[in-house]
Structure 1
Amino acid sequence: MTTSDSEAWGMDIHKWDWTPGVGVISILHYFEASGDPKVMEFLEQWVEKNKEKAAEAKVVNSMAPYALFPELYRRTNNLFYLDEAVKIGDWMLREAPRTREGALEHTVTEKASFPEQVWADTIFMAVLFLARLAAVTGRKDYAEEALLQTELHFKLLQDETTGVLFHGWNCKAGDHMSAAKWTRANAWVVIGFPLIVKELKGLVQVPTHLVDQYRALVDGLLTYRAANGLWHTVMDRPEFYQETSGSAGIAAGIMCSVRLGLLDPSYLDHTASTCSAVIGQVDESGLVQSVSGGTPIKNTIEDYNTIPVIPTLYGQGLTLILLSEMIQTAALTR
C-alpha cells in the first residue's frame, strides 16, 4: 500500500467498513451533543448512498456502521433501519465466527485472516451495535450477548498486573501474541464500555466486577500517560511516537464514564491536559495529525513503531467524540 493509497483508504467515508463506521458513529455522537438537525440529515443521506455496499462487507469488523441504525430508527420510525439491524443482529448471534471461548473472532474485509483471534477493537466495532439494538428492540438475547462479549474481551485481554489491555489474544496458542499494550486498542474499550453499559440498563444487570475491571483499566492507563497528556502508540514504550487517536479515545471515554456515573467526577481532572494536547494536533484545515494507520496485531512490539502516520476517519472520529464529550461536560458543570 503506497502512502497515497493509505491516505485514500483512511479518509474514504463512502465505504461500508470499520473506518467510515467510526466516522459516522462519531458524527452521531456529535449530534447527540449538539442537536443540530443537519447532522442527522447527513447521516440519513450517508446510509442511503452507501447501504448497497453493506452486503459485500459482512464481517465482524465492518459492523460499525450499523451502530447508527437503532438511533436512526428512533428518530425516523423508518422500518428499513430496524429490519436491517435485526437481520445483522441475528447474524451476529447465530452465524458470526467465534473462538473456542465463545468470543467473536475478529474477521475483516481485507484479504487477511485472523483465526481464533480476539481483538479489543471488536468492542467498539460490533458489540456497541448489539447493545444499541438490544435497547431499541428490548430483546434480552441481544443484551446478554453484548454483555457476554464485553466480559470475554476483558477476561482474555486485561493484564492483571497493570489493568491495561493487550491488543489481542490467540485462542489456539493461548497467548497475547506480541503482547503489545497498544494505546488505540485500549481506547476502543475505554469509550466503548460506557456507551454499551448505557444501552444495557433495564435489560441485563452489568456485574460489579466488570465495572471494577473497567476502573482498573482506566487507572492503569493513567500511569502510562506522558507529561503532555498524550499516550505513546505502545504505551509502555516512551521512545515510540505519540498517537492522537488513541489518546482522544481514552480521554473521551473517561469523560463519558464520568457523565454516565461509572467514574467519580475527580477523573475529569485527568482529562484536561489530554484535551489540550489533542486539540493541538488539529491543523488549520481540520485534519487530526499523528494518527497511526490501520494496525493489525504485529509480530513484534517494535513493528508498531513502523506503522505510518496518516489522516484517517477514525482519527477524526475519536477526536470528534472527545470534542462532543467536552460540550456535554461543560453543559453539566455550568
Structure 2
Amino acid sequence: MTQLRRQACQIAAERVVSFMLRGRPGDWGMDIDRWDWNPGVGLIAILEYYEAARKPEILSELTVWIERNKHQSQHHKVINSMAPFTVFPRLYELTGDLYYRDKAIDIGNWVLTEAPKTREGALEHTVTEPEQFAEQVWADTIFMAVLFLARLARVSGDPKYGDEALRQLQLHIELLQDDNTGVLFHGWNCGSGDHMSAARWGRANAWIALATPMIVQELQGMPVIPDTLMERYSRLLQGLLAYQADNGLWPVVVDRPEYRCEVSGSAGIAAGFMKAAKLGWVGDNYRSAAELTLMRLLEHIDEQGNVGGVSGGTPVLATEAAYNEFEIRSTQYGQGLALLLLAEYLN
C-alpha cells in the first residue's frame, strides 16, 4: 500500500469517526446514544480503529459512551441489542475495569440460557422494535451477538461461550447458504422451511463474511474449527468475488447486477476479504478486490466524514426488488462498516 493511499485512509477514518461521534439526536440512522445494533456496529468499528491507530482519545470516547448509555442496556434484551456488548471483553482487557467483564458474563449467560431459539437451535433474530420474527434466522445475528460470545469466550476462558459461538456460526451458514452460488440468503424461516423472499442481500453476506474470521481468531485454541465450516466460508468468498461489479462494489442484492450498488455491504465484504487474506485463507486476488472496493469507498466519504450510498436498516423484505427500492440514508452501521475496511488498511 502506498504512503499516499495510507494517508488518504487515515484522513478518511478520522473524518468518519468524527461524524459518528457527533451523531444526530433523534435521527434513527445517526443517533449514537441508543443501545441497539446500529450504534453497536459503530462501537465495534471504533474499537477496531483504536486497535489500528492506538489513539488514547478513541478509547476514552468508547468508555465515556458506555458510561453515558449503560442505563439503557437494562431495557432491552434482544439479539440486536447485544451488539454494543461486543466491545466489553476487550475494554476489560484494556482498562482492567471489572464492570466490563462481569456485565459481559451476565449477558453471555442470557444468550446461552434465555435468548429465544428456533426449532433448529439457531438464535431467533429479535429486535428492539415492537415486532417479532418468530422462527426466523437472519445473517445479521452472527455480527450482532455471536461475535460477542466468541470474544467473551477468549477473555473469560470459559469454553461454553466459544462452543455456542461456533455452533451458531455453523448453523447460520448451513441454513443460509445457497448451494448453487455459495453466497448467503438474508434469512431462513424454520417454520415454513424456506428463505422467504430468497434475496441474496449484500449486507447479509457482509455480516458473515466479516464476522467469520473475527470469530475464528477469537476461538484459537478453544473448540476445533471444523473443515466443513471453512469449506463453506471459502465457497461464500468465492461466490462473492464472482459477483463484484467492475467498479469494486457489490449490488444491493449481490446476484442482481442490474440493481444499484450499495456501499455498506460492499465495505463489509471487502473487510472480510482482507481479514481472510491476512490469515492466509485466500490468495492475493481477494486483497486486490478489496483494494478496488477501498478506492470506491473513499469516493463516497465526504469532507464531513459522512459515508454515502448506504441503504437503510431492513428486515427480510418481501421481494428482491424491495431491497433495490429501499431508502438511502446516513447510519452508524454504514459509518462502522466503512471504518472497519479503513482500519484493515491502517493495521
Question: Which residue in 1 is equivalent to 2:319?
Answer: 300
Displacement of 1:265 after TM fit? 3.7
Question: Which residue in 2 is equivalent to 1:126?
Answer: 145
Does 1:67 pair with 2:60? Answer: no
Displacement of 1:50 after TM fit? 0.5
Does 1:25 pair with 2:44? Answer: yes
Amino acid at match of 2:37: W
Amino acid at match of 2:43: V
What is the distance in 2 between the residues matched to 1:91 and 1:262? 33
Question: Which residue in 1 is equivalent to 2:6?
Answer: none
What is the distance in 2 between the residues matched to 1:176 and 1:142? 28
What is the distance in 2 between the residues matched to 1:192 and 1:72? 19
Higher mean Cα deviation, 210-219 or 18-27? 210-219
Choose from 239, 244, 264 the match for 1:225: 244
What is the distance in 1 between the residues matched to 2:38 and 2:67? 18
Question: Which residue in 2 is equivalent to 1:207?
Answer: 226
What is the distance in 2 between the residues matched to 1:199 and 1:325? 17
CA contact (8 A) 2:25 2:33 kept: no
Displacement of 1:12 after TM fit? 0.7
Choose from 128, 152, 164 the match for 1:145: 164
Amino acid at match of 1:61: N
Higher mean Cα deviation, 254-263 or 194-203? 254-263
Displacement of 1:197 after TM fit? 0.3
Does 1:271 pair with 2:282? Answer: no
Question: Which residue in 2 is equivalent to 1:9?
Answer: 28
TM-aligned CA distance change 1:16 to 1:199, over 3 Å = same
Question: Which residue in 2 is equivalent to 1:167?
Answer: 186
Question: Which residue in 2 is equivalent to 1:253?
Answer: 272
CA contact (8 A) 1:7 1:312 kept: no
Higher mean Cα deviation, 117-126 or 261-270? 261-270
CA contact (8 A) 1:119 1:169 kept: yes
Q: Percent identity?
A: 55
3-state DSSP of counterpart to 1:169: strand
| Equivalent pairs, count | 324
Choose from 278, 281, 285 the match for 2:304: 285
Displacement of 1:256 after TM fit? 1.1
CA contact (8 A) 1:157 1:167 kept: yes
Displacement of 1:240 after TM fit? 1.7
TM-aligned CA distance change 1:139 to 1:71, over 3 Å = same
Does 1:44 pair with 2:63? Answer: yes
Displacement of 1:6 after TM fit? 11
Displacement of 1:264 after TM fit? 3.0
What is the distance in 2 between the residues matched to 1:269 and 1:249? 15
Higher mean Cα deviation, 279-288 or 20-29? 279-288
Q: RMSD of the alignment, in Å?
A: 1.3
Question: Which residue in 1 is equivalent to 2:344?
Answer: 325
Displacement of 1:195 after TM fit? 0.5
Comparing both chains, which one has the higher relative contact order based on Cα–Cα distances under 8 Å and sequence gaps of 6 or more? 2
Displacement of 1:271 after TM fit? 1.5
Displacement of 1:317 after TM fit? 0.4
What is the distance in 2 between the residues matched to 1:81 and 1:272? 35
Amino acid at match of 1:287: N
Question: Which residue in 2 is equivalent to 1:156?
Answer: 175
TM-aligned CA distance change 1:191 to 1:178, over 3 Å = same
Amino acid at match of 2:180: T
CA contact (8 A) 2:176 2:185 kept: yes
